[in-house]
Structure 1
Amino acid sequence: MALLRLSGDRHLPRETAAAATGEPVGRITMKAIFAPLSRLFSTALFIAAISQGAPAKTVATPVAQSEARCAELGAVRLQGGRVTSATFESAAAAKAGSPEAPARPANCVVQGSINQRIGIDGRPYAIRFELRLPAAWSGRFYYQGGAGVDGVVPPADGVYPSGEHGQSALLSGMAVVTTDSGHEAVSGVGNGAFLFGADPQARDEYGDQQLPLVTDAAKRLIAQYYGRAPEWSYFYGCSNGGRQAMAAAQKWPYLFDGIIACSPGFRLAQASIQGSIVRAQLAATIAPKKADGTPDISHALTAAQQDVIKALILRSCDALDGVADGMVSHPSQCRVEPLKWVCAADQSQNCLSPEVARYVRAFLAGGTLRDGRVIYSSIPADPQIVQYMGSEPEMYVGLFAGEASHVYTTPPTMTPDLIGYALKADADTEYRKLFASSAVFTRSGADFTNADSPNMDAFQRHGGKIIIYSGSADWAFPSPDVEAYYQSVQKRYGKAGTDSFARLYIVPGMLHGPSPYATDRFDVMGAMIDWVERGAAPDTLLAKAAPDAAWPGRTRPLCAFPKESTYNGSGSIEQATSFHCHAP
């Protein structure tokens, strides 16, 4: 598809740019539609950001006109797709206790599909999407990343993962799009979420090909509805959505001005082997047996054993930041040796058996192949990770097993017995299959799903900005792997070059998502908007514990990597002002 270069090196399809301006197709320069903005959100975190400083020239369209324009979108022709519905919705307040019914402004909700077809497995496929267009538009476009292996179209609200659930991109006036990434999960079967792995095009669309297609469709519809293209485009995704975010920066560098990747599974292919085969077979070495004789990997450790391990980690690493506050705030310096925790001959309390100590050591080390190569990543010693050592629900192993067996390996292994696969499969064999291809599956799983290249030359030249953040207690995609990736970016561009367009934040104690033992609420979207639209690069962010956390309202400075939060030596340990960022 031909692309048209716009001012600021932003790109839109030719047809979209023409529709946005009413000018003939050709080179055009878009004058700034919006005056410089005061920060959209306060410098406090989202959970405290009840008032969002309104962006300049947010245009509210009369309801009757909005409804008419919305209905007209049903006739818009999309590249390889179509609009299936376009309905105007009035503003609605949030329903108490119902996260599926958040507050929404008046908006036009558009649903559509791209590349509708029948796959080689005989199943119907299409890239389905939902786009919500607020009547009062800020001129911004927001792509909400997916989760798991997608397969459903989430509501296009743009709820910020790092902030209060009541605050969203849609409420702040952004046009928001979501997608199922090209396949629909099949209900009623244990492996229904992964059956799309039998179709090579569905694999490709899930991996990375949906990104430009959905973005193009969304921007065409935005231009048609508002009469102009978005001034700024953002992508925010976590987990698989974080992987998509990094793929966008590396493979489709002109789609977005600002990209936020949280808890990113950017080496999801390798992670699927470690998260399923390695973890299941390791847990099986100490797990009790079920009635049928199979290992009960969800009870590899007792609750008492888990409590001992948590206490030993805190004893070793809690005070590394200068104060014992129940948090491991210097994860880079937290080095433990579980074999030293083995009970002495006269000891029975606050220690481990040799078998459990070896298990903990192996879990933290991560999986290796028979030749000694690391499969994926080591795992930090953090108290919050311990529950996934000992009482990890089978659903987590099953999720990774489904991805590894059905989606990332070639040829795929289609089986409803995902735990059985994890317990019996050979890690070396399945690892090799991550990089295999065939006449049918012409791209390997590692090729279409991973986003681990440090080459973001085009994204940097375009003026794009990327913020990556990860929890130090992320059991799925551990922070050492994220740090290693960021260091490869720094090696390519140097520190100053990297600082010009990228930031990494490691959030102490944060799991693969919110944690009750972390200060993991912070205004990363506001920081990104400031950086992209005002040129104000972020440094230290203010992070806060959730109201239902172990320490409600506790605040900490969230430091840009490699710095870590360090106690000043005096002052309340509940206040960020008592801490500073220090490079280890």
Structure 2
Amino acid sequence: MLYPALLSPCLIALLAACSSAPEKPVTDTPVSTPQSCTALRTFTLPAAAIGLATRGARVTATETVAASGEGAKAIGAYCKVSGVISPVDPAAPAIRFQVDLPAQWNGKALMFGGGGYDGTIPDVAANVPAGAATQPGPLGRGYATFASDSGHQANATTSRDGSFGSNDEALRNFAGDALKKTRDAALAIVTAHYGQRPARVYFAGGSTGGREALAMASRWPSDVDGVIALYPAWNAVALNLQFGRMTQAMAQPGAYPDAAKRKLLFDAAMAACDRLDGVADGIISNVDACNARFDPATASLNGKPLRCEGGGEGGDGCLSDAQIAAFKVFSTPLELPYPLASGETRYPGFNTWGTDWGMGTGGPFQAIIQTLGLGTEQPANPMPGVSSKGSPPYHSTFWDQWVRYFVTRDVNFNPLALDPLRPGGYQARVVALNGLQDVNQTDLSAFRNKGGKILIAHGTADALVSTQATRQYLGRLQKAMGEQQLEGFVRYYEIPGYGHVFGTAFNASWDSLTALEQWVEQGKAPVDQIVVDTTAVPGRSRPLCPYPAWPQYRGSGSVNEAGSFVCVGR
């Protein structure tokens, strides 16, 4: 936190100006003689060359990396560049970034988004989120790739560390400013190395990175040509308030279910809803019908009621009333009695039934799925720590950090004491954070007019960002721009069975980057897209249906082939 008494009046004035000043024009880096990887070690960039206020950027290290891998994993030799962007506020952390410059450059660049509270630099040699396992990632295709930690360095809790939120500049950087600063610094390095600016710039990210993708398209439409946004947490503040509601429900006595009870709920939902798409294939594709039909209070599994007799705790073979009530909080919307800065007053419920909340079985990703789900410890005050031995629900730690560092800025504040519906004296702060953190601009005419394209995809079994919220975003775009105009530059797909980053019933692999390239560069809109499972039944495929359509079994043919399904409901 900044203490004005310790700062000079000039610095205070400077910081105030930076917090409210509009984006300033960028002085384009002139095209010049290409600089070698070694020569880039002394590269510096003045503040005037970055579109938002900084004290400039500099390269801190370079390394020539040899070619590696085979097939789709092959990556040619490249120059790895590390750098920092200096903050205006001396108390704020720097933005640390990395740029990978392939020896065989395709003339394009791609920026990766982060995840959670960010705080680490994403692997810019990796594939895009849920990218095609059989196709090279961006660096392997010859893209110059780059990303940053969004302006702070996380502690051992990594993406759950929100302590940076006590500093205004660090918070603004996380909310979006670091995207512009990183993009400008990275492209200056790309231009210096190759002697020319990239012909195309794309962005790919999931969760927070998905929010960042949409922020790039809305805030800086001239800076990117296309974005891939997976499970985007676009309305972060409303989501955080829903996290608070979910956390407080799970903190009630007897409400927290162990892994065995989570599996019981998953199995019961699968038994009730799997065939609603025409075939029992281990995937709930008709999600809306399942949400309307399934009720854990009246459901049964293997001929036995799911609810414990009398509603009390009855062991791992049933769910108590307290546990059912907590899960129903997850599946129902947060309804705020006050409007946020964007005007919204709700966050929709999750597709709770058929979602793996961390049931301890079901494939190689179960450990991370459990971490991203309900964890291993009940939420409490103080919030249990995150370690290799266990952790509370991911959403609970996220809420805890947001309450203590973003909202109250009181490290000792009890996160269970702040009512998301009635935050009292903190309501104004919550509303203000909505204006800062969320991607609320829904008129994307500038991005559309320049030929920009947006691909959005979201798994229906996501335990951290609701697909119903992404539907809400799409609805806002349609209202602002019209469905016909939206069809020309936006596609949204829901992937049945896919979770947040990973999936138990279906782990998605989709060649979204090729689809985006063809749409932007050749004018070929994506049609007949296919998504492939890499874990539950490796190699099985489904049609990727443009929302609101979903894949229904045709009645014949292999249940593992996309051709046996047809998109219905559009």
2:173 is aligned to: 205
Tell whether the 8 Å contact from 2:540 to 2:560 is kept in structure 1 after alignment.
yes
Tell whether the 8 Å contact from 1:88 to 1:106 is kept in structure 2 after alignment.
no
SS in 1 for 2:557: coil
Tell whether the 8 Å contact from 2:41 to 2:62 is kept in structure 1 after alignment.
no
- Percent of residue pairs identical: 28
Tell whether the 8 Å contact from 1:131 to 1:175 is kept in structure 2 after alignment.
yes
Match of 1:82 among 33, 57, 64: 57
1:226-305 aligned at under 5 Å gives the runs 226-275=194-243, 277-287=244-254, 300-305=256-261
Aligned residues: 493
Cα distance change of structure 1 residues 221 and 271 upon mapping to structure 2, 3 Å threshold:
same
1:135 aligned partner, one-letter code: A
Deviation at 1:334, TM superposition (A): 2.3
1:15 aligned partner, one-letter code: D
Deviation at 1:529, TM superposition (A): 0.6
1:379 is aligned to: 350
Match of 2:509 among 502, 521, 528: 521
Deviations 1:451-501 (A, max 9, x none): 133211111111110111111011111000101110221222222210101
- 464-473 or 314-323: which moved more? 314-323
How far, CA to CA, are the matches of 1:389 and 1:116 in structure 2? 36
1:557 equivalent in alignment to 2:550: no
Compute the TM-score of the two structures, normalised by the length of structure 2.
0.79
SS in 2 for 1:428: coil
1:334 aligned partner, one-letter code: C
Deviation at 1:81, TM superposition (A): 2.0
1:354-503 aligned at under 5 Å gives the runs 354=311, 355=321, 356-369=323-336, 375-387=346-358, 388=373, 393-409=391-407, 411-415=408-412, 421-430=414-423, 433=426, 435-436=428-429, 444-503=432-491
SS in 1 for 2:147: strand
Deviation at 1:432, TM superposition (A): 7.5
How far, CA to CA, are the matches of 1:431 and 1:203 in structure 2? 23
SS in 1 for 2:237: helix
How far, CA to CA, are the matches of 1:371 and 1:71 in structure 2? 56
Deviation at 1:525, TM superposition (A): 0.9
2:31 aligned partner, one-letter code: A
Q: Which runs of 5+ in 1 are unaligned?
A: 1-11, 23-64, 96-101, 288-296, 438-442
How far, CA to CA, are the matches of 1:492 and 1:13 in structure 2? 29
- 83-92 or 258-267: which moved more? 83-92
1:178 is aligned to: 147
Deviation at 1:185, TM superposition (A): 2.3
Deviation at 1:375, TM superposition (A): 4.4
Deviation at 1:265, TM superposition (A): 0.7
Deviation at 1:303, TM superposition (A): 4.3
How far, CA to CA, are the matches of 1:390 and 1:109 in structure 2? 36
Cα distance change of structure 1 residues 340 and 151 upon mapping to structure 2, 3 Å threshold:
closer
SS in 2 for 1:513: coil
Tell whether the 8 Å contact from 1:272 to 1:403 is kept in structure 2 after alignment.
no
How far, CA to CA, are the matches of 1:466 and 1:389 in structure 2? 31
Deviation at 1:445, TM superposition (A): 1.5
Cα distance change of structure 1 residues 283 and 90 upon mapping to structure 2, 3 Å threshold:
closer
Deviation at 1:193, TM superposition (A): 2.4
Deviation at 1:374, TM superposition (A): 5.9
1:564 aligned partner, one-letter code: W
SS in 2 for 1:497: helix
1:113 is aligned to: 84
How far, CA to CA, are the matches of 2:532 and 2:123 in structure 1? 27
Deviation at 1:434, TM superposition (A): 6.3
Cα distance change of structure 1 residues 335 and 445 upon mapping to structure 2, 3 Å threshold:
same
Tell whether the 8 Å contact from 2:404 to 2:415 is kept in structure 1 after alignment.
no
1:567 is aligned to: 553
1:321 equivalent in alignment to 2:318: no
How far, CA to CA, are the matches of 1:307 and 1:264 in structure 2? 26
SS in 1 for 2:257: coil
2:31 is aligned to: 19
Tell whether the 8 Å contact from 1:564 to 1:582 is kept in structure 2 after alignment.
yes
How far, CA to CA, are the matches of 1:19 and 1:178 in structure 2? 22
Tell whether the 8 Å contact from 1:279 to 1:363 is kept in structure 2 after alignment.
yes
2:99 is aligned to: 131
How far, CA to CA, are the matches of 1:192 and 1:552 in structure 2? 31
- 335-344 or 530-539: which moved more? 335-344
- 570-579 or 305-314: which moved more? 305-314
SS in 1 for 2:330: helix
Note the aligned Cα RMSD (angstroms): 3.1
Deviation at 1:324, TM superposition (A): 1.5
Deviations 1:378-431 (A, max 9, x none): 11144224444696750513431244214542x42324x8xxx33333223448
1:37 is aligned to: none
How far, CA to CA, are the matches of 2:97 and 2:159 in structure 1? 23
SS in 2 for 1:384: coil
SS in 2 for 1:550: coil
Deviation at 1:192, TM superposition (A): 8.8
How far, CA to CA, are the matches of 1:459 and 1:452 in structure 2? 15
1:222 equivalent in alignment to 2:190: yes
Match of 2:288 among 332, 354, 378: 332
How far, CA to CA, are the matches of 1:310 and 1:181 in structure 2? 36
How far, CA to CA, are the matches of 2:229 and 2:111 in structure 1? 12
Tell whether the 8 Å contact from 1:408 to 1:446 is kept in structure 2 after alignment.
no
How far, CA to CA, are the matches of 2:224 and 2:284 in structure 1? 35
Deviation at 1:164, TM superposition (A): 5.4
Deviations 1:250-294 (A, max 9, x none): 11111100111111111111212222x21222113353xxxxxxx
Deviation at 1:309, TM superposition (A): 2.1
How far, CA to CA, are the matches of 1:146 and 1:428 in structure 2? 29
1:534 is aligned to: 522
Cα distance change of structure 1 residues 450 and 433 upon mapping to structure 2, 3 Å threshold:
farther
Cα distance change of structure 1 residues 284 and 265 upon mapping to structure 2, 3 Å threshold:
same
Tell whether the 8 Å contact from 1:86 to 1:108 is kept in structure 2 after alignment.
no
Tell whether the 8 Å contact from 1:302 to 1:390 is kept in structure 2 after alignment.
no
1:352 aligned partner, one-letter code: R
How far, CA to CA, are the matches of 1:136 and 1:241 in structure 2? 27
1:285 aligned partner, one-letter code: Q
1:46-85 aligned at under 5 Å gives the runs 68=36, 70-72=38-40, 74-79=42-47, 80-85=55-60
- 533-542 or 374-383: which moved more? 374-383
How far, CA to CA, are the matches of 2:104 and 2:287 in structure 1? 44
Deviation at 1:302, TM superposition (A): 4.0
Deviations 1:50-93 (A, max 9, x none): xxxxxxxxxxxxxxx97x35424523434332323342413242
How far, CA to CA, are the matches of 1:220 and 1:191 in structure 2? 28
1:111 aligned partner, one-letter code: S
Deviation at 1:158, TM superposition (A): 4.2
